[in-house]
Structure 1
């Protein structure tokens, strides 16, 4: 396993960290007025609201705030690390080099041991330290795995440059931009090329697959098959790799995403009528929103109404209609964090139940 040194980013809120593992939602932060406590999934208060801020539980600990200092409580509501920090990050597992060799369950040798820790700052300037579950300062911060925060929609950093100088057909194209096969191992090769200012596609026998009339064509691998994202006169559509239409070139917005459930979707539509299609052409989100954006946590789509209010579509198929000024998805599938019209934050589940009282 590869590791990189942990770099704490204290400008993030205590409830979100790029290095945080998935939170435990058995207890949900619950706000009464301006004070925070915790409630069960059925909204029964378990830990009395008495904190000015309350973070999500990670590995049995949650960061809470009183006055201007943070501490940590356990799931029984007991303060286990006193209120003495100006900034904190959630508890998570990291790694230290272990003495000698140890074997994993599959028999591989390793030289690391896991340790639970959190980031903290005793000063307002944000100078960071790492603490253990007793609040003791650690001599150094642990390392974390390379894949702590994977992004399944991020492009590969490996770029293979192909020499197309041997491919000639006078008058057919000016420059080849990219190539693909319909599926891995297929005999035929397809080429995305330019002629003048336009893009088109031809195959290895020089048959025109898509005419040279598009302002942009890009390939997209979805489920092991190649699709073509095309733009013409400011409108967007999708073709199969063989040139057959998949989504008509008539959309002002078109974005292909692969969500955390490994299902691919297309955000499509005209201005003011944006929705989401799955790969079977079924609209999982109706084309009735001013905008739809895929959330970077991978748990769903943020919906924006004509009046600017926000809602959320969960990958489970449930929708919270827009009525909030801001929406933040969580790295778990059933909750979102919202800002109300009164300017206060709270949590809402996929059934639309509010975990706050104003």
Structure 2
């Protein structure tokens, strides 16, 4: 009988212990370096949110940039510095200007001097590795006839685009081509079908981000092209910068800035 009471008392202690543990507050999971954070603006303050637009790093800055190669510039007052994806400082907030990292380097300005720093914040003197040259006709060959130009795909398709355009440029991915008739631009896919009508003032892609999500312009308003050759966003912004690390900085008609992700979602709250 005494043995049974001992066992019963022992089980009571175990159950009480489990109850106490279950009532303790759980810590939020730590932010990992691999998780994507997007600059997030709330009113005039900036922090970083996850892909669900939940605030991860606090609204502690006057302006911030995207995380590229694990580092992002932040501004407090008139000065800039760099942080990592956990919010820890990589440099002092001391620069008059600061740019995104690329190839382990970022251009900054301090005391009227412009120079390059490495990911440890120290000035660099060695030049960056040269970028690979890109063949602007890597998906096929131009076909010319009577002052007009067409295209013959040789990579991934045997489609021939009729010679009815004034200019054709290769977008270097997904079989997409930029085409111009007169002053207007559109987009063709690898089957020779228009995915975006020839109706836009400009479509600009940059090698710096692998020609992804080109900026589209019409009547002074900007948006982006998606990877299928259609519009990722409406053309409603007064300024749009190229995507960097799957986010892009835009300016709204009321003069405020914010960031989009590669699904076109806006990361700000007024």
- How many residues end up aligned between the 2 structures? 227
Q: Residue 110 of structure 2 corresponds to which residue in structure 1? A: 122
For the 8 Å contact 2:68–2:244, the answer to whether it is kept is no
TM-score (norm 2): 0.70
Shift of 1:341: 0.2
In the alignment, is residue 291 of structure 1 matched against residue 206 of structure 2?
Answer: no
User: SS at 1:81's partner residue?
Assistant: coil
Change (3 A) 1:282 1:82: same
Written as runs of structure 1 = structure 2, the 5 A alignment for 1:17-166 is 26-93=36-103, 118-123=106-111, 125-128=112-115, 130=117, 133=120, 135=121, 137-138=122-123, 140-147=124-131, 150-153=133-136
In the alignment, is residue 326 of structure 1 matched against residue 239 of structure 2?
Answer: yes
- In structure 1, distance between residues paired with 2:77 and 2:98: 15
Q: Deviations over 1:282-327 (max 9, x none)?
A: 112134x33241322411333233x432121122455212111122
For the 8 Å contact 1:86–1:126, the answer to whether it is kept is no
> Hey, which of these two has a bigger chunk of helix by percent?
2
Change (3 A) 1:316 1:28: farther
> Hey, which of these two has a bigger chunk of strand by percent?
1
Change (3 A) 1:76 1:314: same
Gaps of 5+ in 1: 1-23, 94-115, 154-220
Gaps of 5+ in 2: 1-33, 154-159
Q: Residue 301 of structure 1 corresponds to which residue in structure 2? A: 214
For the 8 Å contact 1:56–1:63, the answer to whether it is kept is yes
Over the residues paired in the alignment, what is the CA RMSD in angstroms? 3.1
Aligned mate of 2:226, from 299, 308, 314: 314
- In structure 2, distance between residues paired with 1:336 and 1:127: 25
User: SS at 1:320's partner residue?
Assistant: coil
Aligned mate of 1:342, from 227, 249, 254: 254
Change (3 A) 1:25 1:255: farther
For the 8 Å contact 2:38–2:247, the answer to whether it is kept is no
Change (3 A) 1:255 1:31: farther
For the 8 Å contact 1:320–1:350, the answer to whether it is kept is no
Aligned mate of 2:143, from 218, 228, 237: 228
TM-score (norm 1): 0.55
Written as runs of structure 1 = structure 2, the 5 A alignment for 1:180-191 is none
